[in-house]
Structure 1
Amino acid sequence: MKIQQHSLSIIKAHAEINLSADEYLSDQPLSSEEKKYYDECKQYYYMTKRPLISVSDEIFDHNVAIESLILKFGIDEDCHQFKLQNFLNNICSMLNITMHDISIKNIQNGSAILETEIFGKLESKDKALKIRVMYESLTDKMQEEIAKLNVFFLYMGSIEAFAKQQNYRSEIKLNPQFNRTYGPGHTYWTGELKDGRDRGGKPYYCPVGWQRNSLYIIDNLRARYKGWCICYHGTKFNFGLAILLSGLKPADNTAHGEGIYASPSIIYACHPRYAEVKDIEPKHQNEYFKIGKDQYGNDKYGKYVQFVLECRVHPSNIKKIGRETLGVRTTIDSNVSNEEIEWVIKTNAKKIVDFNDVDAEMICTGIMIRVTEQHPQSLPDSKWWSG
């Protein structure tokens, strides 16, 4: 009841204000790179019915002084038709802020790309606290409500971090020369891979049935991460799709408890508890969901998709190696013992797991995708799901 009353008071406070988008239109056009990025964010928005949300990790770093914070919205409307005041009334109500908390910076052409400064009158530590609370309030339901305002993108953080993110995005492109399809007739091996590379003393087995979309981290990846183990982290459809479409790995706001859970077995990591199984609607089929050609030579698309993150972790950052926690009584993966199939990775109390950070305890080197015609539960490697 109190929240509802607060929202009503916000709307009432805005009733006498009537800001127009025309007052804030910028002469500076979006760069081709920005346009492409926002188009990719829109694809995410159309498929998930929620905005792609990005936050700078500095707001969770108590040692960083933040001078200025922005909220940047991508709104799927013609900027000349955009009803700015209506939008502000609604978004302020949803985020439990008032017009006194924000100031409009500009609106860029194309879709309405609205940049606002937030909490400008507060001290640095208070700004960070407020924006953290706001970010943590963005439940799935809240994101769906924000999407109803035609918001396809939302950024929270400093303008400097946003610029850095955009520059980094141009470098983090999917790394196609290292993309792989795993299985007979493609990249394939049996047993532990014996190629002479140092993977921290942990074996690496062929992830049969999966495609790997490599992510650019740094040029000297093998030298920089020599001795790091390969492991897998199951993820939600939305998270994997955000990586594929935008090239950026959004921060993971999940509560990790004692650490991040990973596995040396992709067979274990892709269980639906960890890696969501998603139906692909025909209208959303694209190049990532192709499974071959039909008898007439036309592209053939799968009906189900799963995403798993391929990661690397230094052995010293593996806090615990333990048994499976799904209560399975059968062998999960013939290559990995059920007693050693789950790893807990240190996070060093970091609130956000930033997979873009080359100095993180665990880095993401690729996005694994499995597209199938039949539900993956029917696959031979998935028989253990029911056992």
Structure 2
Amino acid sequence: MPIFFGFFGTNINPLNENIKHREEIKLHPEWNRIYGPGHTYWTGALQDGLDRGPHPYYCPVGWKRYSLYVADNFREKFSGWCVCYHGTKFQYGLSILTSGLKPANAAEHGQGSYFSPSIIYACHPRYSEIKPVLPEHQNVFGKSAKYIQFVLECRVRPQNIIIGCETFHIENTTIDHNIPNNVLEWIVNTGDKIILDFADLNATVVCTGLMVRVTNNHPYFFSESQWWQKTCRCNNNFHCAWNADRDDLEKQKANGATCIVVLN
């Protein structure tokens, strides 16, 4: 885990000078999970008797959760809160975890903080950066590790959710087979707050974990990522968000390239 935090770099400047850093990031390893067959796995909406609010929770297959400590008696305090995800760039990781999340000022569904009930949607490279794993880190993540992504796992108070459609404008393309395109964006109105502070137990959203995915090839080759090709409208072959050359990806795909999750 310390190596993973190293991917965030050293940028811990607060997003606003009036916001204080959280003194420490507490992990809760008892609740770390690997999601997939042979590990923590289920199909369909989870039915385990716990109250996660009115929106279903599906298995984030292929991801590992590093659990963050939020509060004692978590289940009681956050009963009924819904699971959601927020993708971001590595360079913002430490600032978000230590200072909070800055709401979007100009966004398609209005001002607020944006989340999704779908990790498949939240891990699109527009949101979740795809970062190469350098050779010196392969002894930690595995010799076959080539790329890494992370997404924030959060809980949100359901009364504060404004539901919107996906914003790639690909209405006729299925993004997540479990969740319709017209409910993939969750907007949380933060009012006049300049920062959504995850350390504030009175906040409408808390961050409960870091979802990490390490792969042996570019994640574009996952079957659940094929909708990405409908979202690229730039003229550059090297897609900066994808961190890859589109022509090269298509050639690899035509030659049968695949991608698997590296678990270590």
Does TM-score exceed 0.5, indicating one fold?
yes
- The residue identity in structure 2 corresponding to 1:234 is G
Would you say how many aligned residue pairs link Structure 1 and Structure 2?
Answer: 223
The reply to whether residue 238 of structure 1 matches residue 79 of structure 2 is no
Residues 303-339 of structure 1 deviation map (CA, whole Å, 9 limit, x = unaligned):
1111111010011111x21211112231111110111
Partner of residue 259, structure 2: none
Describe how 1:367-378 pairs up with structure 2 within 5 A. Answer: 367-378=210-221
Matches of 1:182 and 1:239, distance apart in 2:
25
1:310 to 148, 153, 169: 153
* Residue 163 of structure 2: aligned partner: 321
- Partner of 2:152, secondary structure, is strand
**Hey, what does 2:128 align to over in structure 1?**
275
Does the 8 A contact of 1:179 with 1:212 survive in 2? yes
Structure 2 segments unaligned to the other structure (5+ residues):
231-264
- Helix, strand or coil: the match of 1:55? coil
Q: Which residue of 2 aligns with 1:342?
A: 185
| 1:225 Cα deviation from its structure 2 partner | 0.4
Partner Cα distance (1:262, 1:198) in 2: 19
**Separation in 1, partners of 2:101, 2:135:** 28
Q: What is the correspondence of 1:105-120 to structure 2 with a 5 Å cutoff?
A: none
Alpha carbons of 1:282 and 1:198: their partners in 2 closer, same or farther (altered >3 Å)? same
For 1:67, the equivalent position in structure 2 comes to none
Name the residue aligned to 2:71. Answer: 218
Return the structure number with greater strand share: 1
1:300 Cα deviation after fit = 2.9
Which residue in the other structure is 1:364 paired with? 207
How far apart, CA to CA, are the structure 2 residues paired with 1:173 and 1:352?
20
Cα distance in structure 1, aligned partners of 2:50 and 2:31 = 16
Q: Residue 345 of structure 1: CA displacement?
A: 0.9
Secondary structure (helix, strand or coil) at the match of 2:228 reads helix
Instruction: Report the identity percentage.
Output: 52
Are the structure 2 counterparts of residues 335 and 344 from structure 1 closer, same or farther at C-alpha, using a change threshold of 3 Å?
A: same
1:190 paired residue among 35, 40, 43 = 43
Q: In structure 1, how many angstroms separate the alpha carbons of the residues matched to 2:47 and 2:215?
A: 29
Offset at residue 56 of structure 1 (A): 8.7
Cα offset for 1:210? 0.5
Per the normalisation by structure 2, the TM-score is 0.77
Cα distance in structure 1, aligned partners of 2:52 and 2:105: 25
**Alignment check: 8 A CA contact 1:57 1:354 kept:** no
Task: Please state if 1:249 is matched with 2:91.
Answer: no
Structure with higher Rg: it is 1
**What displacement does 1:354 show?**
1.8
Within a 5 Å distance, the mapping from 1:47-86 to structure 2 comes to 47=7, 51-55=10-14, 59=18
1:198 aligned partner, one-letter code? D
Distance 1:378 1:384 in 2: 11
Deviates more, 1:376-385 or 1:275-284: 275-284
Bigger proportion of residues as helix: 1
Is the CA contact 2:85–2:116 (under 8 Å) kept in the aligned structure 1?
A: yes
Give the drift of 1:188.
0.3
Name the amino acid aligned to 1:260: S
Q: CA deviation at 1:253?
A: 4.0
Partner in structure 1 of residue 243 of structure 2: none
Which one-letter code corresponds to 2:12 in the other structure? Answer: I
Code of the residue aligned with 2:143 in structure 1: it is K
Note closer, same or farther for the CA distance 1:218–1:369 as it changes in structure 2 (3 Å cut).
same
| One-letter amino acid of the structure 2 residue matched with residue 321 of structure 1 | I
Counterparts in 2 of 1:254 and 1:56: CA distance versus 1, 3 Å: closer
